[in-house]
Amino acid sequence: MFKIDDRWSVDSWELTVSEIAIIGFGDMGAEIAPHLREGGHAVTVFDADPARQSAAGAAGFATAASAAAAAHGADLVLGLVMSQDIPAAYLAADGVLAGVDAGAVVVVCSTTTPALAAQVAAAAPDRVIVVDAPIVGGVRYARERSVTFLVGAPEGVFDRVAAVLEVAGKPVHVGGFGAGVDYKLITNVAIMAAEAGLREALDLTDVLGRDYETALRLMSNGPMKAVVERSLDESNPRPLRRSAEDDDTLLSAVVDADAVLPISSAGRRRLWDAVTVAPGCEPDFVDLTRKTTSRAEFRTTETN
């Protein structure tokens, strides 16, 4: 998926990383950037959100006026944006691919679709390699350097990029370009079903007039333990909207999602119901375990 001419091959490519551009200084970018700096790399940040851009500057990072400006001069560009932000971040006139230099590598860490990842790779300038490396793990895992990068890249490219990603987590080689995106979507089918299933189990708790604390304790005694613990972990924040958006991305990756992924389709509807409980309300992931995201007839402002 990357371009090679007579003077350029994977075998001859050497990545000596000193300059890193991070595109996206949200929940994950703000945790990963310090690890890279501590690893001895010079880090330049761009975020389209002015508040996040200011936060990066306040944290001591160099900032750039655009994704293109951040990518220019970087040995490696790490993209940490949501799937819907990929066209603007990479493909726009001031996006990454407009500024990246020959010899650099662009790492797409978003949960996205195969089609969109391929579009980024196809648009890359000559002698720029695009790697997909979606992330498994949340904010706390990024803070603790325990996220997993699902890397799709040729073997030789993975070996070189892994040396950088190891500073922030665990890179796992899952195949050639595109394999990382595919496997992240595959794992998300099970994850999203479990998240929506947790909320639906508590919907039944409401209907039967039982209490959430007991229901959650009993669920944590079985296979749902990890899901329940993740949902109650306030040290690992995540807007619930991000889970619903990941479900949107998942379902947009297949034709006739209602037929192919009926559980995911139904789960997506329940998650969006939870996200949009009230105008101006932005539930966090932990709200899946609270009556704040119950169905309307049971909903309260209680936090447990």
23 burial via Cβ count (<10 Å: 0-12, 13-18, 19+): buried
Q: List alpha helices for the chain, DSSP H.
A: 29-38, 50-58, 67-71, 86, 96-99, 114-123, 139-143, 155-165, 179-207, 212-219, 225-232, 240-252, 257-260, 262-275
Helix (H) or strand (E) holding 44, with range, is: strand 42-46
Name the DSSP class of 223.
Answer: T
- The catalytic position among 3, 170, 184, 291 is 184
Distance CA 140, CA 84 (A): 24
CB 291 within 8 A of CB 203: no
291 is catalytic: no
Instruction: Record the tokens describing residue 112, joined without a space.
Output: 């996205």
Give catalytic residues, as residue numbers: 184
